[in-house]
Amino acid sequence: MIKVESIDYKYEDGTLALKNVSIDLDKGKVIGLIGGNGSGKSTLFLNILGILKPSKGKIKYNNEPIKYDKKSLRDYRQKVTMVFQDPDKQLFYSKVYDDMAFPLRNLDIAEDEIKEKVNASLAEVKALDLIEKPTHFLSYGQKKRISIGGALIMDSKVLLLDEPTSGLDPAMSKEVKSIIKNLSQEKRIVVSSHDMDFIYEACDYIYIISKGEILGEGVAEDVFLDKDILEKSGLEKPWLVKIHENLNLPLYKSESELLENRD
């Protein structure tokens, strides 16, 4: 799978956005990347995708450093896909079907097969009814569904989700959580967010990033009990951890677990 080995990334204007970052995507099935605004989450994702090239260090896929020529990147991006934070920017065509079909058409896949895959991906994100809709006039949540569906269509091995719950209502956040859970059966998932509750419930291994540096890592239950790291990165504890510490309750992984064990 993917290993990020001590990379630095510097933007053209001199901003050092990543400092000696190392990440191993074999540590869990759903990896969380938490950090505040501007901490370097999106920059790290773009480096993993090969859109940006680290100024120091390497990114390895199956123990081979990724190559940056056009053909290698094209192959690589069939295995690693990303859902961008802003769904508006991810949509290219104005019709849902055409937008979803676009990458498959670029791979010269037969249209019948494309149709099946579009249907399957839309079903996965519960958006089959939108297939013929113009994308510009969908609601934010609908656009988000389509952009997640669009990333699923490639059947990639790794899926990067950049702040998938930002701007969504609680019901839709919950749904994204269950979509992630389903997908984690068949592919490796990396989720960035500053929504602690979401990350705590959705992820099994977590990296904390602050000002371009990895401050800490570990399984969800450990990381969130580490006061120092959380304080240093300016993040809040998930509410399940807070009630564990303050109300002397056991540490539950999800709300449903808490409710089941209440009596």
Partner 1 sequence: MLIIDKYAYSNRLADSDPFLKFIVVVIALAITTTIRSIYINIMIFAMMSFMTTKVAGIPLDKYFRILSIPMGFLLISTITILVSVSKIDIFVYSINMFDYYIGITISSMEESIYIVTRVVASMGAAFFLGLTTPLNNLVKVFRKLHLPKSIIELIVLIYRSIFIFLEEAQEIHTGQELKFGYSNFKNSLRSTGLLLRSLFLRVLLRYKEMVIILECKLYDGEFKTGD
Residues 162, 192 contacting (CB under 8 angstroms): yes
Among 2, 18, 25, 42, binds Mg ion (CB under 5 A): 42
Distance CA 69, CA 9 (A): 19
User: Of the listed pieces 40-48, 153-161, 217-225, 234-242, which binds ligand ADP according to CB under 6 A?
Assistant: 40-48
SS3 of residue 155 by DSSP: coil
- Paired with 216 in beta bridges are 208
Helix (H) or strand (E) holding 159: strand 158-162
Min dist. Cβ of residue 166 to Mg ion (A): 9
Kindly report the backbone phi and psi dihedral angles of residue 122, in degrees, each rounded to the nearest multiple of 5, phi listed first: -65, -35
**Contacts (CB under 8 A) with partner 1, residues 133-152:** 133-134, 136-137, 150
Among 5, 8, 98, 221, binds partner 1 (CB under 8 A): 98
User: Of the listed pieces 11-19, 149-157, 223-231, 232-240, which binds ligand ADP according to CB under 6 A?
Assistant: 11-19
Min dist. Cβ of residue 36 to partner 1 (A): 22
Nearest to Mg ion of 42, 135 (CB atom): 42
Provide the 10 A C-beta neighbour count for residue 62: 10
Residues 164, 140 contacting (CB under 8 angstroms): no
User: Of the listed pieces 31-39, 62-70, 94-102, 170-178, which binds ligand ADP according to CB under 6 A?
Assistant: 31-39
Provide the 10 A C-beta neighbour count for residue 8: 16
Nearest to partner 1 of 102, 140 (CB atom): 102
Nearest to ligand ADP of 138, 214 (CB atom): 214
Q: How far is CA 219 from CA 153, 172, 201, 246, in A?
A: 30, 25, 12, 21
Which residues of this chain interact with partner 1, rule CB under 8 A?
46, 49, 51, 73-74, 77-78, 81-82, 84, 89-90, 92-95, 98, 101-103, 105-108, 111, 114, 133-134, 136-137, 150
